[in-house]
Amino acid sequence: MTTDQAIAFAILGASLGLFIWGRWRYDLIAVAALVAVTLAGLVPAGDALDGFGHPAVITVAAVLVISQALNHSGIVDVISRKLAPFTENLAMHIIVMSGVCAIASAFMNNVGAIAIMLPVALASCAERDRPPALVLMPLAFGSILGGLMTLIGTPPNIIIAAFRADLTGQPFGMFDFSPVGGPVALMGVIFTAVIGWRLVPRERSGHKSPDQLFQIEEYITEVRIKPDSPLIGQRYGDLEREAGEDVVVAGRLRVDGKMRKPARREIIRDGDVIILKADPTDLKPMMDQFGLELHGKIPQKLEELEPDNIKIYEAVVSPESRIIQRSPAYLRRRSGYTLHLLAVARAGEPIRKRIKDVIFRPGDVLLMQGDQESAGETLAELNLLPLPERGLKLGAPQKIIPALSIFVLAIILSAFGVLPIAVAFMGAIIAYIVTGILPTRELYTHIDWPIIVLLGAMIPVGQALQNTGATDLIAGNIVGITSGLPVWAVLGLLMVVTMTLSDLINNAATALIMAPIGAAVAMTLNLSIDPFLMTVAIGASCAFLTPIGHQSNTLVMGPAGYHFGDYWRMGLPLEILIVIVSIPLILWAWPL
């Protein structure tokens, strides 16, 4: 082993360790690795930023924008609602929901697909009186499986195609992944519907839907301002500020008995009757401090708390949300004080500690009160995924035909080599903006910038491994370990290693690390690189053992009430089946 190889392995090992540890975000780790390989002279300084202009990076960003445009058009929402009558049987319910999500994931970002389908699946579970836990894990797995079918279905496929182009001058085409990804996705969806849901822990199958998580009447109190209250003459905004994050003014009763949300600048008067949301332990000291007295009957239904212009929303904290590792105070500031947090649930159970002490995590379910006119835009800006019942409109069905036509035209232009796929998709984005399908203000808001930075930084790091011969060294060791074994066994080992890595770190990072190793193994054996790259593509996308392996898994954790250790119960047999089914398919579709 040379000195450069030792340095390359040290940087790679440190990066993997930090990825798995999860203390810092993966894009920061990737940038640190890029700086390290540049300082070590493993990548020329002039080439250090070349990864950010790589076609794979541009294509991934374009796919994310197009996914949002398709979301706006309402294509998947309309299809899924048309299929709702076929959900009477549980197995058929799972097949319909996860199948539609898989098909959508083949042509848009898989996280975007599940973001559309999650509210629909929850609504269908409520309609059929079924626990969400039985349907949501198959839904998440379906979104991952669907991405296997096409070039644009998942970032690892785009990365693998670009890597092949760098080696051979010819990338994988749009549907080159379909002969393997299609049967694997079909098998996976059927497995989750027939066997997989039975592996969900029984205690999770009793979990209620998100709108049943919060017994809000336990925290609602109707109070009157007493004549000697020090609040008289102050503003309602002053009351909320002095009371702190654990108290929310849900509304004020008018003379006609109806409730409305008071403006923050509105003056508090003697005899005002207000509805407060507060933990019982905080309420008594507050009433004594501010001169309040109990009044009237406590509302028994959540909907009774909704003034004309105020609604109650449930939303899931997405893995890209800006409020992760932040407090409720940050949420209120970022929303311009238009969203008020009422309760938080995590892993299927409401958090009982004081709201102000909560630090948000991916998958948390939030119960919020907000202005009906601005809540939709605010939730989208904060990357909070609205849930059904009191959720928001999912799409605009009248734009389905133009949205689909633009997308199909871009696919055709790239499939026939008229335009590179990145250029074709950028043209589609311009068309979506011109036709009003995608608002200009949302052009960049749904790009997953940490992923883009991760790709741009890790591409030169991967190149450093190749430049130093480190990938050839790893490949030689793999060939040595598997010496005398048939090629299918070598591919199987490569897939298992890739799957294991993808369950622990981001799948794009996995593809960037494993693609050069897979190609080097093929070259060492003097075989075609295509089956080895396809093996890496399948393995990198199949992260079913943990909620952190893929964003789709994280999104369903809160609404379904899953625990960290629940995923492997269904995911492990599924990964074993994928290895058994996909290796023969790869050897058939991509001969050695």
- The sign of the torsion formed by the CA atoms of 435, 438, 443, 449 equals negative
Contact between residue 555 and residue 140 where contact means Cβ atoms under 8 Å apart: yes
Of 25-39, 106-120, 288-302, 401-415, the one with minimum mean pLDDT is 288-302
Residue predicted with more confidence, 160 or 554: 160
Residue predicted with more confidence, 149 or 294: 149
- Helices and strands of the chain, counted as H and E runs: 23, 10
d(CA 291, CA 90): 54
Banded pLDDT at 302 (limits 50, 70, 90) = very low
- Say yes or no to pLDDT of 10 above 50: yes
Strands 365-371 and 339-346: antiparallel
Banded pLDDT at 255 (limits 50, 70, 90) = low
pLDDT in tens, 337-357: 778 787 788 766 777 666 777
pLDDT in tens, 186-215: 999 999 999 998 988 876 665 555 555 565
Amino acid, single-letter form, for residue 567: Y
d(CA 187, CA 190): 5
310-386 and 213-305 share a CATH fold: yes
Q: Hey, where are the domains in the chain?
A: 213-305, 310-386
d(CA 162, CA 167): 9
pTM for the full predicted model? 0.73
The b-or-e profile of 80-108 (16+ CB within 10 A means b, else e) is: beebbeebeeeeebbbbbbbbbbbbbbbb
Neighbouring residues of 224: CB distance < 8 A, sequence distance ≥ 6: 271, 272, 273, 274, 292, 293, 294, 295
Q: HSE-up of 186 (CA within 13 Å, CB side)? A: 6
| pLDDT given at position 223 | 81
pLDDT in tens, 374-385: 777 788 778 888
| pLDDT given at position 19 | 80
| pLDDT given at position 186 | 95
| pLDDT given at position 395 | 44
d(CA 266, CA 239): 11
Which CATH number does 213-305 carry? 3.30.70.1450
pLDDT in tens, 75-122: 766 776 677 777 888 889 999 999 989 998 898 878 778 877 887 888
Kindly state the greatest CA–CA separation across the chain: 91
| pLDDT given at position 396 | 45
pLDDT in tens, 500-535: 888 877 788 888 889 989 998 999 889 999 999 999
Which tokens in the block code for residue 362?
Answer: 């991916």
Residue predicted with more confidence, 139 or 414: 139
Q: Average pLDDT for residues 135-164, to the nearest whole number?
A: 91
| pLDDT given at position 301 | 46
| pLDDT given at position 393 | 45
Which value, in Å, is the radius of gyration of the alpha carbons in the chain?
A: 26
- What percentage of the chain has pLDDT greater than the value 70? 87
Residue predicted with more confidence, 217 or 78: 78
- Say yes or no to pLDDT of 9 above 50: yes
Which tokens in the block code for residue 552?
Answer: 């789709």
Query: What DSSP string runs through 174-241?
Result: TTTTHHHHHHHHHHHHHHHHHTGGGGS-TTGGGPPPHHHH--GGGTEEEEEE-TT-TTTTSBHHHHHH
End-to-end Cα, the chain, rounded Å: 30
Banded pLDDT at 391 (limits 50, 70, 90) = very low
Contact between residue 420 and residue 55 where contact means Cβ atoms under 8 Å apart: yes
| Residue 483 DSSP symbol | T
Q: Average pLDDT for residues 235-256, to the nearest whole number?
A: 73
Neighbouring residues of 552: CB distance < 8 A, sequence distance ≥ 6: 110, 111, 114, 140, 141, 143, 144
> Phi/psi at 323 (nearest 5 deg)?
-95, 0
Domain 310-386: what homologous superfamily?
A: Regulator of K+ conductance, C-terminal domain (3.30.70.1450)
- Say yes or no to pLDDT of 455 above 90: no
382: burial class by Cβ within 10 Å (0-12, 13-18, 19+)?
buried
* Highest mean pLDDT pick, 201-215, 276-290, 380-394, 406-420: 406-420
Of 299-303, 403-407, 583-587, the one with minimum mean pLDDT is 299-303
d(CA 136, CA 355): 27
d(CA 267, CA 249): 14
Cβ count near 301 (within 10 Å): 9
Mean pLDDT, rounded, of the chain: 82
| pLDDT given at position 280 | 59
